[in-house]
Amino acid sequence: AWLKHQVGGFKDKDGFESNFVRHIETTLARSMFNCDETAAYAACSLAFRDRLILEWNRTQQRQTFADSKRVYYLSLEFLMGRALDNAMLNIGQKELAKGGLSDLGFRIEDVIQQEHDAALGNGGLGRLAACFLDSLASLNYPAWGYGLRYRYGIFKQEIIDGYQVEVPDYWLDFNPWEFPRHDVTVDIQFYGYVHKSTDENGKATARWEGGETVKAVAYDVPIPGYATPSTNNLRLWSSKAASGEFDFQKFNSGDYESSVADQQRAETISAVLYPNDNLERGKELRLKQQYFWVAASLYDIVRRFKKSRRAWREFPDQVAIQLNDTHPTLAVVELQRILVDLEGLEWDEAWNIVTNTFGYTNHTVLPEALEKWSVPLIQHLLPRHLQIIYDINLFFLQSVERAHPGDRDLLARVSIIEESQPKMVRMAYLAIVGSHKVNGVAELHSDLIKTTIFKDFVTIFGPDKFTNVTNGITPRRWLHQANPRLSDLIASKTGTHDFLKDLTLLNKIELSVDDPAFRKEWAAIKLANKARLAEYIKTTTGIVVNPSALFDVQVKRIHEYKRQQMNIFGVIHRYLRIKAASPEERKKFLPRVSIFGGKAAPGYWMAKQIIHLINSVGSVVNNDKDVGDLLKVVFLEDYNVSKAELIIPASDISEHISTAGTEASGTSNMKFVLNGGLIIGTCDGANIEITREIGENNIFLFGNLAEDVEDLRHAHNYGQHTLDPDLVKVFEAIEKGTFGDSKDFAGMITAVRDHGDYYLVSDDFQSYLETHDVIDEAYRNQEDWITKCITSVSRMGFFTSDRCINEYAEGIWNIEPLPIETAE
Ligand code: 26W
């Protein structure tokens, strides 16, 4: 396979160089004498893109010819990060490019840095989709991703005077990785009314008429597999005014402005990614985005199916569609509409096809994140879809009534329509009813959804409809690309880089855990990664940190349930202890650097307050002569995928400290351990399975268990809440004004002290502090520490997204890889 694979790449270094020069001189119309790093990035990308296109076309032809079942991954978010480095590594020609670029006077690292992240996502859910695309291509599955081509991805975060400021991320200026398909368009209808009638056979028919039309234009992004020629497609839709919509009447009559305004209104649909993570806001434009994307994708999928001229009942044998959370749930309704209204199938036959086609993945149990859309809004925007939703609900409730006669409470609880004012459509319930499988993303999470939010549906459909697929990450990006030296060191022990395709092979390095040279190199790599991050910290923040201090990292979206507030309270507690200590006692403290990063949703006031406190603590602590190197606090601006690739390999300890039962899985926990960092965490999400795999001696767990959370919350609300005494001291310091105007942080304190401490910060605080002391002691014993790190990495094989994708393929999609011919 490798041999054949090389065929897709450049013949040799000269081949790369001449292609590069050609792009500089023709595509970019520049000269080699006036070629800066930006131009070098452009030319290098275009050169590799040329290689991808050939394999991309071949892969699509192979898939069409094989005519086997495909999976379509519908996700509103794809957090891809940079493409060039990934493309060079997956093709297997980064070394060749490095040499070529060097001949031409460039350092490959600098060229790679020129690329702007494709940041079409908020956090975990979007990055998971990106890892899945990498695995699907690497494993040769026939698969397409479908998403939206936002003009503005997640905002750029700037920290000004300690506060988050949001700046638009206009990322499309130059993007060599997308191909506009102006010939692949779909007209999407909104608003209008439903015309019901009876046809010549007496059959009731419904037609959706009137309203307005917007055009969806396809943009395709090639997804190269690792060490395989397979190159899959990610299709992103962009909105445009439909030709008939650009009002030429207005235009010709001189009303140029309002004619342009119509056009802009159409383009607004795909203009911006909603920056909320785990918070549902119910905005009409968001619903428009969802329908626009779902309708265009389904039209495309159905069009492809129809070319095969098969009977409709074969649809689920050819097509699997995965719903990444409830955001694409309208696809269930849209497919039913296509089959019944447009193709004339009977309701039951159509519904059977629909439910056998879809699978639904849930990514959160937080109540405020569960999508609901108001009935009047859907009625207005999608009148026919609302009728179909009511019919789906009617037939569903009738079947429940037959199986559980007389249980009116059950009917009310599981109804897709919530009888509130206004009435609401519960999208998760619609997704469950419309799918044949529902999965959570880690064992605990999959158990929780069965016993809490979806309990009644387990009663109705039985337990087999609900399953678990524990998340995973691609080792190509998160080991080989982010930490090339570690990847090569591992390869020196396992013999090859084959572990990048079969991550369980990592277990071979456990045999070398006592090998002094191996351990020495291991430690040197970690130190070098830390020195590189220290350098970055210095140039971006001016803060000087010591690379041999313990680096303690928490990088993820800022959210109360993820408890960055507990982390910074712990840092304050440490600061107070250092201050109270005598100069003699101070020498006993282990030097530490606390590193934070992450964006707050622009309207999430508490999250912004947390960012402000972290920065305020930093400016006090970092300038306190009593503290010196013992403690530094750093907030890294604009955390994103490419910064994760820099930060994660440099961590000693990372924090995954959500209130038990709130973090569905977490995926950065896996990335940190895979890069030889240890973790402090609660018994939540995938931390539990990581512990099972790597052993409980290699992880620092603390805090209350998920099963106790409800009782603790209940107790808080009935006045039995005595705050932890160390936390009280922290609050006193804040309220004294130690970190600036205490009013700025009052919300964070009252949430814990006066408003029931919903996230159990006080309950877990003591155990959190003690565990950090345990970490200090463990870190002092560097030999044991390195043993823990090596052992942990060797046991991380389970957490590859390749394993995940194979589980989905077998248990949910029923698809198989397409074999690749190995000979030319
Ligand atoms: C509608 C508003 C909204 C937006 C985004 C609601 C929910 C979301 C996402 C589902 C939030 C998210 O990213 N969830 C994360 O998904 C990861 C991948 O499964 C998990 O690892 C994280 O634990 C989970 O928080």
Q: Please report the ipTM that was assigned to this predicted complex.
A: 0.97
What is the distance in angstroms between the CA of the first residue and the CA of the last residue of the chain?
Answer: 10
- Give the alpha-carbon dihedral of 263, 264, 268, 272, to 10 degrees: 140
- The span from the CA of 542 to the CA of 556, in Å, is 22
**pLDDT at 719 (0 to 100):** 74
**pLDDT at 256 (0 to 100):** 79
Write the DSSP assignment of 84-143 as a string of letters: HHHHHHHHT-HHHHHHHHHHTT--HHHHHHTSPPEEE--SHHHHHHHHHHHHHHHTT--E
> What are 717's two structure tokens?
């609300």
> What are 462's two structure tokens?
């039985």
Whether ligand 1 lies within 6 angstroms of the CB of 381 is answered as no
- The span from the CA of 373 to the CA of 294, in Å, is 16
Whether ligand 1 lies within 6 angstroms of the CB of 371 is answered as yes
**pLDDT at 820 (0 to 100):** 86
For residue 77, which atom of ligand 1 is closest to its CA? 5
Query: Which backbone phi and psi does 151 adopt, to 5 degrees?
Result: -70, -35
For the chain, give me the number of helices (H) and strands (E)? 34, 24
Model confidence over 273-328: pLDDT tens digits? 999 998 999 999 999 999 999 999 999 999 999 999 999 999 999 999 999 999 99
C-alpha neighbours within 13 Å on the C-beta side of residue 459 = 16
Paired with 212 in beta bridges are 190
For residue 127, which atom of ligand 1 is closest to its CA? 18
CA quadruple 527, 532, 537, 538: dihedral sign: positive
CA quadruple 271, 273, 275, 279: dihedral sign: positive
For residue 286, which atom of ligand 1 is closest to its CA? 1
**pLDDT at 121 (0 to 100):** 98
Query: Which backbone phi and psi does 466 adopt, to 5 degrees?
Result: -105, 135
Paired with 607 in beta bridges are none
- The span from the CA of 12 to the CA of 8, in Å, is 12
139, 806 in Cβ contact below 8 A? yes
570, 769 in Cβ contact below 8 A? yes
**pLDDT at 251 (0 to 100):** 65
**pLDDT at 262 (0 to 100):** 82
Residue 423 annotated as catalytic: no
Residue 700, sorted as left (phi over 0), alpha (psi -120 to 50) or beta, turns out to be beta
71, 141 in Cβ contact below 8 A? yes
Cα-based distances in Å from 196 to 206, 340, 346, 384: 4, 13, 16, 10
Out of 384, 501, 557, 795, which one is annotated catalytic? 557
Whether ligand 1 lies within 6 angstroms of the CB of 125 is answered as yes
Segments of the chain scoring below 70 in pLDDT: 1-7, 244-251, 822-824
Residue 357 annotated as catalytic: no
Whether ligand 1 lies within 6 angstroms of the CB of 427 is answered as no
Instruction: With CA atoms as reference, report the closest residue to 335 among 359, 322, 351.
Output: 351
Whether ligand 1 lies within 6 angstroms of the CB of 757 is answered as no
Q: How far is the CA of 735 from the centre of ligand 1 (A)?
A: 34
- The span from the CA of 493 to the CA of 192, in Å, is 65
- The span from the CA of 653 to the CA of 242, in Å, is 53
Give the pTM: 0.97
Residue 557 annotated as catalytic: yes
Model confidence over 623-667: pLDDT tens digits? 999 999 999 999 999 999 999 999 999 999 999 999 999 999 999
Whether ligand 1 lies within 6 angstroms of the CB of 124 is answered as yes
Q: Which residues contact 443 (CB under 8 A, 6 or more apart)?
A: 468, 470, 688, 689
Cα-based distances in Å from 424 to 366, 368, 376, 387, 465: 18, 14, 9, 14, 25
**pLDDT at 253 (0 to 100):** 72
**pLDDT at 246 (0 to 100):** 55
Burial of 777 (0-12, 13-18, 19+ CB in 10 A): exposed
- The span from the CA of 326 to the CA of 658, in Å, is 23
The 8-class DSSP code of residue 72 comes to: E
Q: Report the share of the chain in percent with pLDDT over 70.
A: 98
Burial of 187 (0-12, 13-18, 19+ CB in 10 A): middle
- 3-class SS at 633? strand
- 3-class SS at 181? strand
Q: How far is the CA of 324 from the centre of ligand 1 (A)?
A: 9
**pLDDT at 6 (0 to 100):** 47
792, 673 in Cβ contact below 8 A? yes
Q: How far is the CA of 278 from the centre of ligand 1 (A)?
A: 6
Domain boundaries, the chain: 549-782
The residue type of 713 is R
**pLDDT at 191 (0 to 100):** 98
**pLDDT at 418 (0 to 100):** 98
- The span from the CA of 699 to the CA of 454, in Å, is 31
Instruction: With CA atoms as reference, report the closest residue to 79 among 359, 474, 356.
Output: 474
549-782: CATH superfamily: Glycogen Phosphorylase B; (3.40.50.2000)
Q: Which residues contact 715 (CB under 8 A, 6 or more apart)?
A: 721
- The span from the CA of 274 to the CA of 618, in Å, is 30
Instruction: With CA atoms as reference, report the closest residue to 62 among 229, 301, 303.
Output: 229
819, 140 in Cβ contact below 8 A? yes
101, 85 in Cβ contact below 8 A? no
What angle is formed at CA 14 by the lines to CA 12 and CA 15, rounded to 5 degrees? 65
Instruction: With CA atoms as reference, report the closest residue to 344 among 533, 531, 205, 528.
Output: 205
- The span from the CA of 719 to the CA of 737, in Å, is 28
Element (H, E) at 425: strand 424-426
Residue 671 annotated as catalytic: yes
Whether ligand 1 lies within 6 angstroms of the CB of 689 is answered as no
Write the residue with the smallest CA distance to atom 9 of ligand 1: 278
